[in-house]
Amino acid sequence: MKLAKAQLLQLKSKKADILSYVANCFDPQSDPRSEISQKFEIALLIQAAAEKVSNHQFVYARKLLSRCDLSASKSGNPVQRIVYYFSEALKEKIDNEWGIVSSVDLESKLKKAMDVEQAQIQLQPVMMGCQQELPFRLVAQFAVCQLILDSVESAKKVHLIDFGIDNGSHWTLIMQSFATRYKCPLELLKVTAVGTCKQMLEETGKWLSGFAETINLPFSYNIVVSDLKDLQKDSFELEADEVVAVFLGMRLWTLLAWPNHLEALIGVIKKLKASAIVVKEIEASTNLPIFVERFGEAILLMSALFDCTKACMDHQILYRKMTEEIIFREMIRNIVIAEGTERIHRHERIGFWRALFARFGMVEMEFSSSSLCQATLLLKRSSRFSSCTMDMNGKCLIMGWKGTAFMSLSAWMNENKSANSLS
Task: Tell me the pLDDT tens digit for each residue of 69-115.
Answer: 999 999 999 999 999 999 999 999 999 999 886 544 545 554 555 45
Q: How far apart are CA 125 and CA 334, in angstroms?
A: 27
Q: How confident is the model at residue 174 (pLDDT cuts 50, 70, 90)?
A: very high
120 shares a domain with 252: no
Selected residue with higher pLDDT from 122 and 296:
296
Q: Are 389 and 403 in contact, with CB atoms under 8 Å apart?
A: yes
Whether 89 and 205 share a structural domain: no
**Which band of pLDDT confidence, cut at 50, 70 and 90, is reported for residue 318?**
confident
Q: Burial, 96: exposed, middle or buried (Cβ in 10 Å; 0-12, 13-18, 19+)?
A: middle
Provide the domain limits for residue 7. Answer: 2-124+286-342
The whole-angstrom separation of Cα 87 and Cα 123 is: 27
Same domain for 149 and 240? Answer: yes
Closest listed residue to residue 233, CA positions, set 220, 224, 221: 224
- pLDDT for residue 423: 40
Domain end (from 274, 309, 342): 342
Q: What is the structure's pLDDT at 269?
A: 96
Q: Would 112 be classed as within a structural domain?
A: yes
Nearest to 93 by CA among 294, 235, 281: 294
Residues 199 and 53 in one domain: no
8 A C-beta contact, residue 318 and residue 129: no
The answer to whether residue 108 is domain-embedded is: yes
Segment among 125-129, 170-174, 240-244 with least mean pLDDT: 125-129
Check residue 322 and give its pLDDT.
79
Task: Report how far residue 337's alpha carbon sits from residue 339's, in angstroms, rounded to the nearest whole number.
Answer: 7
Question: According to the model, what pLDDT value does residue 172 have?
Answer: 92
Lowest mean per-residue pLDDT among 58-62, 117-121, 179-183:
117-121
Q: What is the mean pLDDT of residues 203-228?
A: 96
Task: Decide if 410 is inside a domain.
Answer: yes
User: What is the per-residue pLDDT for 7?
Assistant: 95
Q: Give the best-scoring range by mean pLDDT among 49-58, 319-328, 375-384.
A: 49-58
- The percentage of the chain sitting over the pLDDT mark of 70, rounded to a whole number, equals 89
Domain harbouring 160, CATH code: 3.40.50.150
Q: pLDDT per residue over 146-171, tens digit each?
A: 999 999 999 999 999 999 888 888 89
Boundary residue ending a domain (297, 319, 342): 342
Contact (Cβ atoms closer than 8 angstroms) between residue 306 and residue 78: yes
Q: For residue 232, give the DSSP letter.
A: -
Number of C-beta neighbours around residue 14 at 10 A: 8
Of residues 171 and 183, more confidence is placed in: 171
Number of structural domains, the chain? Answer: 2
Judge whether 129 lies within some domain: no
Q: Say if residue 55's pLDDT is above 90.
A: yes
Residue type, 303: S
User: Do 309 and 215 reside in the same domain of the chain?
Assistant: no
| Residue 222's pLDDT band (cuts 50, 70, 90) | very high
With a cut of 90, say whether residue 407 has pLDDT above it: yes
Instruction: For residues 370-389, give the mean pLDDT.
Output: 80
Angle between helices 329-337 and 78-97 (to 10 degrees): 40
pLDDT tens sequence across 17-39 = 999 998 888 665 554 557 888 89
Q: What is the pLDDT of residue 179?
A: 95
Worst-scoring range by mean pLDDT, 100-104, 329-333, 372-376? 100-104
The whole-angstrom separation of Cα 284 and Cα 20 is 33
Q: pLDDT grade, residue 235 (50/70/90)?
A: very high
Query: Mean pLDDT across the stretch 249-253?
Result: 95
- Say if residue 252 is in the same domain as residue 315: no
- Residue 316, pLDDT > 80, answer no
Specify the pTM. 0.89
Position 383 in a domain = yes
Q: Which of 249, 160, 157, 169 is nearest to 207 (CA)?
A: 169
Has residue 103 been placed in a domain? yes
- 100 shares its domain with 224: no
Check whether residue 65 and residue 88 sit in a common domain.
Answer: yes
Are 111 and 255 found together in one domain?
no
Distance CA 124, CA 139 (A): 20
In-domain check, residue 229: yes
Please state, rounded to an integer, the average pLDDT across all residues of the chain: 88
Same domain, 196 and 214: yes
Tell me: pLDDT of 321 over 90.
no
Please check whether residues 189 and 325 belong to one and the same domain.
no
Q: What is the pLDDT of residue 169?
A: 86
User: Mapping DSSP to helix (H, G, I), strand (E, B) and coil, where does residue 134 land?
Assistant: coil
What does the pLDDT look like over 359-372, one tens digit per residue?
A: 999 999 998 887 78
Consecutive H or E run containing 386: none
Asked if 220 and 166 sit in the same domain, the reply is: yes
pLDDT of residue 167: 84
| Residue where a domain terminates, one of 320, 342, 364 | 342
Query: Does a structural domain hold residue 399?
Result: yes
